[in-house]
């Protein structure tokens, strides 16, 4: 059905949210087990806090400067079409990052748990689908002619279906609080080239894209 294809197409845009424009993945190698002082200026905790703070403020240049395994996460380039932009804006607005207490330290690496507050994309798409049906049924009831709503094959006209999808999406995303969820991720900080950098995990990327990109 056209409406479902449109929904899927819009959601797949999010799959590029955390992977578009990414650099080459850098593998994690065992590093020399030299001790370090975690709370030192420029240490791993400070670097992680700076990275998460930049992500929270949408300071992408600042966040990307701290990355170890990507040159970009694609977050600086929003989609061009209006429908996908609704999802994009809603997800970025919902993002919130919390570094959990404690860490695992081994030489020049630190493993840290981070909780990412994001949106439940499955629940959103389900509710949008229901709302689309409500809108389309209302259009059928109020149509002067059958041809105002249906094409020659008896399917909803493409412009009618898309307008219903856009209206439903705006309605559902006008309040995203019911769809807020949290994902726990593991981030690894590496000391390389004289400074600490953050290695983002597939789970972190999945959280950024509301689960559309599963890394």
Q: pLDDT tens digits, residue range 167-213?
A: 999 999 999 999 999 999 999 999 999 999 999 999 999 899 875 54
- Residue 215 pLDDT > 50, yes or no? no
Q: Look at residue 94 and give its three-state secondary structure.
A: helix
Per the structure, how many domains does the chain have?
Answer: 1
pLDDT at 210: 73
- The answer to whether the beta carbons of residues 75 and 82 sit under 8 Å apart is no
Q: pLDDT tens digits, residue range 25-35?
A: 333 333 334 44
Determine, yes or no, domain membership for 214: no
Determine, yes or no, domain membership for 91: yes
Determine, yes or no, domain membership for 120: yes
pLDDT at 10: 52
Mean pLDDT of the chain: 83
- What DSSP line would sit under 140-165, residue for residue? HHH-SSGGGTB-TTSSBPHHHHHHHH
pLDDT at 9: 53
Looking at 18-22, 79-83, 168-172, which range is the least confident one? 18-22
H/E run at residue 121: helix 121-142
Determine, yes or no, domain membership for 145: yes
Determine, yes or no, domain membership for 151: yes
Determine, yes or no, domain membership for 215: no
Q: Name the residue range of residue 93's domain.
A: 2-208
């Amino acid at each position: 059905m056209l409406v479902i294809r449109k929904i899927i197409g819009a959601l797949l845009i999010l799959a590029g949210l955390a992977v578009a424009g990414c650099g080459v993945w850098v593998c994690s190698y065992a590093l020399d087990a030299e001790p370090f002082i975690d709370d030192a200026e420029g240490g791993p905790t400070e670097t992680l806090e700076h990275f998460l703070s930049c992500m929270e403020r949408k300071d992408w240049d600042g966040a990307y400067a701290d990355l170890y395994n990507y040159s970009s996460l694609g977050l600086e380039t929003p989609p061009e079409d209006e429908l996908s932009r609704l999802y994009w804006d809603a997800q970025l607005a919902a993002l919130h990052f919390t570094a959990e207490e404690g860490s695992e330290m081994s030489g020049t690496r630190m493993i840290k748990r981070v909780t990412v507050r994001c949106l439940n994309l499955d629940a959103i798409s389900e509710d949008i689908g229901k709302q689309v049906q409500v809108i389309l049924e209302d259009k059928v009831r109020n149509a002067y002619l059958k041809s105002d709503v249906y094409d020659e094959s008896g399917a909803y006209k493409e412009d009618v279906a898309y307008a219903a999808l856009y209206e439903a999406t705006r309605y559902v995303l006008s309040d995203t609080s019911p769809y807020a969820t949290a994902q726990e991720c593991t981030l690894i900080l590496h000391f390389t080239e004289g400074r600490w950098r953050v290695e983002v995990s597939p789970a972190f990327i999945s959280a950024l894209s509301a689960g559309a990109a599963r890394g």
